[in-house]
A and B are shown apart, each in its own frame.
Chain A
Amino acid sequence: MAQNSLNDVQKIVVIGGSAGSLHVILHVLNHLKADLNIPVVIVLHRKNDSDSSLSQLMALRTDLPVKEVDDKEALIPGHVYLAPADYHLLIETNKIFSLDDSEKINFSRPSIDVTFQTAAEAYGAGVTGILLSGANADGVEGLEAIHSVKGIVAVQDPSTAQVPYMPQAAINHMQIDKLLNVDQISELINQL
Chain B
Amino acid sequence: MDTPVGEQEIKLLLNDLLEIYGYDFTDYAKASLKRRINRLFTLDRFPSFAEFRYKLRTDADYMKRFIEQITVNVTEMFRDPLFYQNLREHVLPVLATYPFIRIWHAGCSTGEEVYSMAILLKEANLLHKSLLYATDLNPQVLQKASTGIFPMSQMKQYSENYIASGGKEDFSRYYTASYNVVKFDEELSRRMVFSTHNLVSESSFNQFQLVMCRNVLIYFEKDLQGRVFALFDDSLENLGFLALGSKETLKLSPIISKYRQEGKEKIWRKIH
Say if the beta carbon of A165 comes within 8 Å of chain B. no
**Selected contact of A148 from candidates B1, B30, B82, CB within 8 Å:** B1
In the bound complex, residues from chain B placing their C-beta under 8 Å from that of A114 are 35
Per-residue CB contact flags for chain B residues 73-115 toward chain A (1 = under 8 Å, else 0) read 0100000101000000000000000000000000000000000
Closest chain-A Cβ to B142's Cβ sits at a distance in Å of: 19
In the bound complex, residues from chain B placing their C-beta under 8 Å from that of A98 are 29, 31-32, 218-219
Q: Are A149 and B217 in contact (CB under 8 A)?
A: no
Are A91 and B31 CB-contacts (below 8 A) given A102-B36, A117-B1?
A: yes
Q: Are B31 and A50 in contact (CB under 8 A)?
A: no
Name which of B131-139, B167-175, B197-205, B244-252 contacts chain A. Answer: B244-252
Closest chain-A Cβ to B38's Cβ sits at a distance in Å of: 10
How many residue pairs between the two chains, A and B, have CB atoms under 8 Å in the bound complex?
72
Interface band, chain A: 20 to 34
**Selected contact of A50 from candidates B34, B82, B222, CB within 8 Å:** B82
Say if the beta carbon of B59 comes within 8 Å of chain A. no
Which A residues from 78 to 129 make CB contacts under 8 A with B? 84, 87-88, 90-93, 96, 98-103, 114, 117-118, 120-122
In the bound complex, residues from chain A placing their C-beta under 8 Å from that of B248 are 70-71
In the bound complex, residues from chain B placing their C-beta under 8 Å from that of A93 are 30-31
Q: How far is the CA of A102 from the CA of B109 in the complex (A)?
A: 12
Say if the beta carbon of A66 comes within 8 Å of chain B. no
The count of residues in chain B whose C-beta lies closer than 8 Å to any C-beta of chain A is 26
Say if the beta carbon of A154 comes within 8 Å of chain B. no
Q: How far is the CA of A116 from the CA of B192 in the complex (A)?
A: 42
Closest chain-B Cβ to A77's Cβ sits at a distance in Å of: 20
Q: Are A100 and B219 in contact (CB under 8 A)?
A: yes
Q: Are A99 and B74 in contact (CB under 8 A)?
A: no
Are A101 and B74 CB-contacts (below 8 A) given A50-B80, A50-B82, A148-B1?
A: yes
Say if the beta carbon of A42 comes within 8 Å of chain B. no
Say if the beta carbon of A72 comes within 8 Å of chain B. yes
**Selected contact of A102 from candidates B29, B74, B225, B245, CB within 8 Å:** B74
Q: Are B247 and A70 in contact (CB under 8 A)?
A: yes
Chain B residues with a Cβ under 8 A of chain A: 1-2, 29-32, 34-36, 72, 74, 80, 82, 215, 217-219, 221-222, 225, 245-249, 252
